[in-house]
Structure formats: structure tokens, C-alpha cells
Amino acid sequence: MSGMNEAEKFFMAEVELALIPLIQCINENYDPNLSRNDLDISYDPKRNISMSYGGGRIVFSKVDGWKHGGLEYKMFKKDADLWTHGINSLKFRAWWLTAHEISHEITGRVFGKCLSIRAPCTEQACERIVGSDNPDDWPEKLLDLINNQACWKKYRNLNLYGMSPYTPHGIFFQHIYRTLRREVVNPLFGIEVGAWKQKQYSPPKKTQGRGWPRTLR
């Protein structure tokens, strides 16, 4: 942390503190194999936007003072779980932004493990992600993610399937991010946690009725 000012040092220290319960939440709900060693976390004061690059690499953008709470994308403004609610706290920024970026990492991690899968897709995907063929070991949230937020597409001329490409901040990402916000971040900062509200996957109009399976059990 050499060369950082006090606010920047505080922010990155809070990122590390946030990672502990966030990784635990991910282990319990999605991927029991993720660890801190899988993540390459850095800070770049020249950047205006924080970003997850995949493969565990996350770069956080510049800190603009102690009351810089940050602002989520406007698409989340009406989503009580995911919105930032005008909280001007650097600690809050560190926690919600870490949850946001690590959700991208888990999205890519799950997607990568679900390439070239044989039916039944749900079971095969869980075995790969969790590392166990015992259904009792498969987290409920992971099953919901795979069954209701993913679309499986059959590879041409092969009896194999993969997940249809996801949008960066679509419902697949939102499912993971919502869990982290509701179980870790929001209670810590006094944000009310109400009923679980999560959209399910709906195929694009051009594919509806053309035999794309939403899930293959």
C-alpha cells in the first residue's frame, strides 16, 4: 500500500475485510471451492471504473475522499437489494463494490465450468462446480441459479450443452450479487432486507418456441 493516501489505504483494508464474509457466503451458496488465493486484487488510482477481468483479477478505481460512497448503475435504482441508497460512506463503497465485482468473478467461474456438459445439465453442472456428485452437497441457491437463471444451448452436431451467453449485469449476475448484498452487505449498513425478488430467465423472442431448453434435468 505504499504511495497510497489514508483514504485509499482504508478503502483497500475494508475490501480485504469484506472479502472474508463474502467468500464465506459464496462458499455456502454457490461455490464451496473459492478461496482468497483465487483472487488477484489491486488498486489503480488512474482508473475511473472498477473492473473484474475474469480469472480472479479485480482492479478497483480511484478513491475520491472519505465520503465517496459510490453509485450503482441506474438500472438498479428501483431494486432495493442492489441500489446504493445515497449512502456516502467510503466503507460502504468498499463493501458493496467488492460484492459487485466478485459477483462478476463467480458468474464467469460458473459459466466456465458449465461448458461442454452432457444432459442432465443441472446435475452435471453441480458436480463440476461443487466437486461432488452427492445432491445433498449442492447449495440451494446454486440449484436455483442453474435452474431458473440459465439457458442451456446444445452444441451443433454434438450431444453436449453449454450455457447461453449471459449479459454482464443480467439476471444471472444479479442472482449472485443479490445474495451477497442481502446476506452480507445490506444488514451491515442498515439497508432493509425484504422478500426475495429475483427475475427468472426468459428466452429472447427470436428463440421462444424453437426448442431451446431453459434447463435440462
Neighbouring residues of 52: CB distance < 8 A, sequence distance ≥ 6: 58, 101, 102, 104, 105, 108
Inside any domain, residue 44: yes
Q: What is the pLDDT of residues 135-194, one digit of tens each?
A: 999 999 999 999 999 888 888 878 899 988 778 899 999 999 999 999 999 999 999 999
Inside any domain, residue 159: yes
pLDDT score of 1? 66
pLDDT score of 211? 37
Q: What is the pLDDT of residues 157-174, one digit of tens each?
A: 788 999 887 788 999 999
Inside any domain, residue 1: no
Long-range contacts of 184-191 (CB under 8 A, 24+ apart): 184/18, 184/21, 184/22, 184/25, 184/95, 184/99, 185/18, 185/95, 185/96, 185/99, 186/81, 188/95, 189/87, 189/89, 189/92, 189/95, 191/80, 191/85
Tally the domains of the chain. Answer: 1
Q: What is the pLDDT of residues 113-129, one digit of tens each?
A: 999 999 889 999 999 99
Please give the model's pTM, rounded to 2 decimal places. 0.91
Inside any domain, residue 210: no
Inside any domain, residue 213: no
Q: What is the pLDDT of residues 35-89, one digit of tens each?
A: 999 999 999 999 999 999 999 999 999 998 887 788 999 999 999 999 999 999 9
Query: 80 is in which domain, residue-wise?
Result: 6-196
CB 151 within 8 A of CB 163: yes
Burial of residue 201 (number of CB atoms within 10 Å: 0-12, 13-18, 19+)? middle
Give one word for 85, left, alpha or beta, with left for phi > 0 and alpha for psi -120 to 50: left
Chain mean pLDDT for the chain: 90
